[in-house]
C-alpha cells in the first residue's frame, strides 16, 4: 500500500527527525506530485474509451488518407478538452497517396486446393488484372544469387530467398524484438537492404518479372504489410513491380514446390492498388502545457497517430496515441504547472519512414537546443519496463535517480537501449535525447502490422501504468534544475 498521504507523511517525519536524516524537501514534494498523477490515472482513466473510439469509429489511419485527417482532428479536440494550450495541426506534405485494393493468389500447378494468403506492400502497383506465371525461387536475397536467373524471369513470380525461421511462442514472449522471425544466414544492414531493393527492382523490371513475393514471417497464418513512397512524383512510385507479403506457411510451401527438380509451379495473381496524385497535405497534432519558469525549454511527449490499414491500428499505434493524450489529461488535471513546457506531439507518416517527426524537427529546428528530451511510446499495449536510455548513460543516470519512486509500478530497466524504427530517432539525429519506451511485448511481435492489430489485444492495467510512467517522467524532467545531458557526439570514422 502506497497512497499519497503515506508518502507525504513519510517526507514530513523525515524532515522532523533533525540532523540524523535531512532529505531535500523539494524531493518530498516531487514524490507527492508523482503519487497525485498516479492516483489520477488509477482513479478514472480515459484510455480505453479513447482507444475504442479511435479504433472502432475512425479505424485504420494510413498516411495521406481521410481517416488519418479525421484522427488528427479528433486528437486535437481531445487536447483542447483536456485544457492544453496552443493546440494546432501542423501541416507537411507527402509526394502521393496510396489506397489498397484486393489481393488474390491461387496455385494452378500443382492444383492442391491451398489458398495463398497475401497482402500488398504499401505504395506498390497492382498487376493490372489477373496474371499467370511460373514461381521462381533463389536461395539468398543478394544480387549475386539473383543474377544467376538472368534470362529466366519473363513473367515470373519471384520468391525473395529462403523461408525465414519464425520464432516459437516462448521465444516471442521473451523477446524485445519487433520481428517475429529470424533471418536465415547473415543479416544485411538497413542501408544494404534498401540498396538491394532498388538494384533488385531494376533488374527484375528489365528481365520482365511479374511480381515479387516476400515471406510474411508471422505465425498463425498472419500476413503483415509495410512500405513507403520512393521519389517525389507519380512516375517514380509506379515504376515498381507488384510486391506482396505471403503468409509464412504458404511461402514455405511455395519455396518447396518451386525448388523441386523438373516440375513447374504456376500461380495466378490478381492485385489491385491505387495511387493518389500528390502532393498531399498531412498533419502532426501538437498541444502543450506552458512552463511557468522556463517556458522556452521543452519536454516532448509523443507517439505516432498513423497506422497501417489491414486492421484498426489499435496497438500500432493507437496505444501510444491514447497514452500521450492520457498523460496530457493527467498533467493538465493535477493542478501543478511544470517549470518547463511539456509539449504533446502526435506524428503522422511514421510508418513510411519517420517522416512526420522529421518534419516536426525541421519546423522547430531553432527549438532543438532547448528541447530537453523526447519520450516516445510505440510498441503496443504492454507495460513500460524502462525508458530506453542504455545508449545515453549520462541522461540515464539522472532519470534513474529521479524516477526511483516508479519502481513500485515496475519501471526498473535503465540499461536497455531504445529500439529502432520510431520517432525518437528523429530527435536523436538533431542531438536531442530521444527515448523509446521499453515494454513488455504482450503479443505485439505477433499482431504488429497485421489484421490482428485490434481492440481485442488491449490490456487496460498496463496502459494505465504506461500513462502514469510517461506523465511522471515528463513532469520530473520538466522540473529538473538543468536540461538532460545531451548524447555524446559520434566519433569520426577513421580514414
Going along the chain from its start, the domains and CATH numbers come out as 1-32 (no CATH), 33-95+279-478 (3.40.630.10), 96-276 (3.50.30.30)
Judged on CB neighbours under 10 Å (0-12, 13-18, 19+), 55 is buried
For 337-350, the pLDDT digits (tens) are 999 999 999 999 99
What are residue 347's DSSP bridge partners? 304
Q: Which residue has the higher pLDDT, 142 or 74?
A: 74
Query: Which value, in Å, is the radius of gyration of the alpha carbons in the chain?
Result: 25
Q: State residue 419's pLDDT score.
A: 87
Location of C-alpha cell 507518416: 349
Report which of 329, 374, 334 is spatially closest to residue 473, judged by C-alpha positions.
374
Q: State residue 17's pLDDT score.
A: 32
Between CA 439 and CA 117 the distance in angstroms is: 30
Query: Percent of the chain beyond pLDDT 90?
Result: 78
Q: State residue 387's pLDDT score.
A: 96
For 448-457, the pLDDT digits (tens) are 999 999 999 9
* Mean pLDDT for the stretch of residues 109-130: 95
Q: Residue 224: which residues within 8 A CB-CB, separation 6 or more?
A: 119, 216, 217, 218, 245, 310, 448, 449, 450
* Mean pLDDT for the stretch of residues 328-341: 97
Q: State residue 80's pLDDT score.
A: 98
For 384-442, the pLDDT digits (tens) are 999 999 999 999 999 999 999 999 999 999 999 998 899 999 999 999 999 999 999 99
Between CA 11 and CA 23 the distance in angstroms is: 8
pLDDT at 68 over 60: yes
Q: State residue 420's pLDDT score.
A: 87
Cell of 212: 515479387
**What phi and psi values does residue 363 have, to the nearest 5 degrees?**
-65, -35
**What phi and psi values does residue 294 have, to the nearest 5 degrees?**
-130, 65
Q: Which residue has the higher pLDDT, 191 or 103?
A: 103
Q: State residue 231's pLDDT score.
A: 66
**What phi and psi values does residue 155 have, to the nearest 5 degrees?**
70, 10
What are residue 120's DSSP bridge partners? 244
pTM (2 d.p.): 0.90
Confidence of residue 1 (pLDDT cuts 50, 70, 90): very low
**What phi and psi values does residue 387 have, to the nearest 5 degrees?**
-105, 5
Confidence of residue 176 (pLDDT cuts 50, 70, 90): low
> Three-state SS across the chain?
CCCHHHHHHHHHHHHHCHHHCCCCHHHHHHHHHHHHHHHHHHCCCCHHHHHHHHHHHHCCCCCCCHHHHHHHHHHHHHHHHCCCEEEEEEEEEEEEEEEEEEEEEEEEECCCCCEECEEECECCCCCCCCEEEEEEECCCCCHHHHHCCCCCCCCCEEECCCCCEECCHHHHHHCCCCCCEECCCCCCCHHHHHHHHHHHHHHHHHHCCCEEEEECCCCCCCCCCCECCCCCCHHHHHCCCCEEEECHHHHHHHHHHHCCCCCCCEEEEEEEEEEEEEEEEEEEEEEEECCCCEEEEEEEEEEECCCCCCCCCHHHHHHHHHHHHHHHHHHHHCCCCCCEEEEEEEECCCCCCCHHHHHHHHHCHHHHHHEEEEEECCCCCCCEEECCECCCHHHHHHHHHHCHHHHHHCCCECCCECCCCCCHHHHHHCCCCEEECEECCCCHHHHCCCCCCCHHHCCHHHHHHHHHHHHHHHHHHHCCCCCCCCCCCCCCCCC
Q: Which residue has the higher pLDDT, 154 or 13?
A: 154
For 398-412, the pLDDT digits (tens) are 999 999 999 999 999
Q: State residue 162's pLDDT score.
A: 93
Between CA 480 and CA 26 the distance in angstroms is: 11
Confidence of residue 28 (pLDDT cuts 50, 70, 90): confident
> C-alpha 421: how far from its chain's center?
7
Least confident of 63-67, 112-116, 245-249, 323-327: 112-116
Between CA 375 and CA 351 the distance in angstroms is: 18
Q: State residue 2's pLDDT score.
A: 40
Least confident of 172-176, 210-214, 274-278: 172-176
> C-alpha 197: how far from its chain's center?
22
For 249-282, the pLDDT digits (tens) are 999 999 999 999 999 999 999 999 999 999 999 9
For 192-201, the pLDDT digits (tens) are 667 778 888 8
Q: What mean pLDDT, rounded, does the chain reach?
A: 89
Amino acid at each position: 500500500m502506497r497512497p499519497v498521504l503515506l508518502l507525504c507523511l513519510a517526507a514530513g517525519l523525515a524532515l522532523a527527525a533533525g540532523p540524523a536524516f535531512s532529505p531535500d524537501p523539494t524531493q518530498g514534494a516531487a514524490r507527492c506530485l508523482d503519487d497525485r498523477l498516479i492516483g489520477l490515472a488509477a482513479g478514472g482513466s480515459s484510455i480505453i474509451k479513447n482507444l475504442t473510439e479511435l479504433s472502432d469509429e475512425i479505424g485504420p489511419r494510413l498516411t495521406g488518407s481521410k481517416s488519418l485527417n479525421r484522427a488528427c482532428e479528433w486528437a486535437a479536440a481531445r487536447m483542447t478538452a483536456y485544457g492544453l494550450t496552443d493546440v494546432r495541426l501542423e501541416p507537411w506534405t507527402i509526394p502521393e497517396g496510396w489506397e489498397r485494393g484486393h489481393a488474390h493468389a491461387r496455385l494452378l500447378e500443382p492444383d492442391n486446393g491451398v489458398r495463398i494468403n497475401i497482402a500488398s506492400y504499401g505504395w506498390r502497383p497492382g498487376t493490372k488484372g489477373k496474371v499467370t506465371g511460373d514461381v521462381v525461387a533463389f536461395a539468398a536475397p543478394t544480387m549475386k544469387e539473383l543474377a544467376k536467373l538472368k534470362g529466366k524471369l519473363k513473367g515470373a513470380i519471384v520468391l525473395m530467398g529462403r523461408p525465414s525461421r519464425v520464432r516459437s511462442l516462448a521465444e516471442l514472449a521473451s523477446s524485445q524484438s519487433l520481428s517475429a522471425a529470424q533471418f536465415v544466414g547473415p543479416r544485411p544492414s538497413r542501408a544494404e537492404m534498401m540498396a538491394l531493393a532498388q538494384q533488385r527492382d531494376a533488374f527484375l523490371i528489365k528481365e520482365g518479372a511479374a511480381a515479387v513475393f516476400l515471406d510474411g514471417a508471422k505465425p498463425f497464418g498472419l500476413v503483415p504489410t509495410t512500405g513507403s513512397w520512393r521519389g517525389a512524383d507519380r512516375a517514380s512510385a509506379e515504376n515498381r513491380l507488384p510486391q506482396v507479403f505471403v503468409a509464412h506457411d504458404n511461402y514455405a510451401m511455395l519455396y518447396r514446390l518451386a525448388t523441386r527438380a523438373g516440375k513447374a509451379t504456376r500461380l495466378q495473381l490478381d492485385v489491385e492498388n491505387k495511387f493518389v496524385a500528390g502532393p498531399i497535405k498531412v498533419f502532426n497534432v501538437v498541444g502543450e502545457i506552458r512552463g511557468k519558469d522556463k517556458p522556452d525549454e521543452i519536454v516532448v511527449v509523443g507517439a505516432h497517430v498513423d497506422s497501417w490499414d489491414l486492421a484498426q491500428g489499435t496497438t500500432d499505434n493507437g496505444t501510444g496515441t491514447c497514452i500521450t493524450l492520457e498523460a496530457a489529461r493527467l498533467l493538465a488535471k493535477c493542478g501543478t504547472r511544470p517549470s518547463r513546457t511539456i509539449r504533446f506531439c502526435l506524428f503522422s507518416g511514421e510508418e513510411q519512414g519517420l517522416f512526420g517527426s522529421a518534419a516536426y524537427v525541421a519546423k522547430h529546428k531553432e527549438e532543438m537546443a532547448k528541447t530537453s528530451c523526447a519520450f516516445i511510446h510505440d510498441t503496443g499495449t504492454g507495460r513500460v519496463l524502462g525508458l530506453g536510455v542504455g545508449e545515453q548513460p549520462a541522461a540515464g543516470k539522472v532519470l534513474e535517480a529521479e524516477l526511483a519512486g516508479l519502481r513500485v509500478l515496475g519501471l526498473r530497466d535503465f540499461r536497455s537501449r531504445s529500439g529502432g524504427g520510431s520517432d525518437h530517432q528523429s530527435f536523436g539525429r538533431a542531438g536531442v535525447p530521444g527515448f523509446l519506451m521499453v515494454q513488455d511485448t504482450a503479443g505485439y511481435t505477433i499482431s504488429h502490422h497485421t489484421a490482428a492489430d485490434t481492440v481485442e489485444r488491449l490490456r487496460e492495467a498496463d496502459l494505465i501504468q504506461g500513462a502514469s510512467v510517461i506523465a511522471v517522467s515528463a513532469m520530473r524532467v520538466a522540473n529538473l534544475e538543468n536540461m538532460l545531458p545531451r548524447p555524446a557526439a559520434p566519433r569520426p570514422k577513421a580514414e
